[in-house]
Amino acid sequence: MYHAPGSIVLGTDTGAALPQMPLDAPKQLFRYGEQSIWSSQFHAGASAIVNGTFRLFTTPQGQQGQGYNGGLSIAETNLKEGGRIPNGVAYDVFGIALQPAHFSQAADSQTAGQAVDNAVEIGDLTNILANGVATWDFTQTTVDVCPLTLIGAGGGVFGALAAAVGAVPTAGAAITTVGNMNNGAGSVWLYRKYPIALPGNTTFAMLLRYGSRAPNIGTNAIELRFVLLGYYKNIIEIA
């Protein structure tokens, strides 16, 4: 049976009663969104990393830690409280990125992001990627993620170097080079099926661990910024 548009039908065509509908208003709303969370580790020039373990996501903005001499800024971390997701929301991690940056001196006193254009600094990158491992550190357990060679902002050192225009090397003379090497060769590490769930009411950290064959860092300092890519679920109570 057909009805006129806009009319109210109190039953079905078969005479069956309409299903029961809840009369109470919802008590909660759920808000979802995507956000990145990052934290950095500083390695001073000539420092030893062999068999070392370094904890990330433990130092918030404005406080000193994770190898830095001064307080961490927004470039190093966006944590407001060490070991906790911002705003206390549940957070599922579906990707991890690793972003190295070199300094112009050995100590934490110069700007980061110097061009990686010599053998020593390229060696620092290959050293870290070849000997480092990322590990989740929860309250009562640790879970290895993977070797750093599998974590982007890359998947290994890549780039290009060339002799500077007009440079004609002579026997025993140093060659002036131009170019840059970085860790941008491949994709970030992705959890393809099962994200890592970080409850908003618990603490977490990530461990940066090195093996027994890792040589010392070169002349200048280097920092490693780990970026978590994920989405949050926020429960909004309705009065």
Residue 135: closest CA among 210, 85, 79: 210
Residues written for the chain: 239
CA–CA distance, 209 with 129 (Å, rounded to integer): 11
DSSP 106: S
Q: Residue 54: count other Cβ atoms within 10 Å of its Cβ.
A: 18
Examine the pLDDT at 141 and tell me if it is beyond 70.
Answer: yes
Give yes or no for a contact between 72 and 78, defined as CB atoms under 8 angstroms apart: no
Residue 161 has pLDDT above 70, yes or no: yes
- At residue 166, the pLDDT reads 57
pLDDT for the residue numbered 233: 79
Better pLDDT: 156 or 38: 38
Question: Cα 38 to chain center, whole Å?
Answer: 5
Across the chain, where does the E strand assignment appear?
28-43, 53-56, 90-103, 112-114, 132-137, 142-147, 158-163, 177-182, 189-190, 196-198, 205-210, 222-237
| Mean pLDDT (whole number) for 40-64 | 97
pLDDT of 62: 95
Report the SS3 class of residue 69.
Answer: coil
Alpha carbons 50 and 43: distance in angstroms, whole number:
12
Question: CB–CB of 216/43 below 8 Å?
Answer: no
Mean pLDDT on 157-186: 66
- Looking at residue 101, the DSSP 8-state letter turns out to be E
Q: What is the rounded average pLDDT for all residues in the chain?
A: 84
Comparing 27 with 60, the larger pLDDT belongs to 60
Residue type at 9 in one-letter notation: V
Q: How far is CA 177 from the centre of its chain?
A: 31
193's CB contacts (< 8 A; 6+ apart) are none
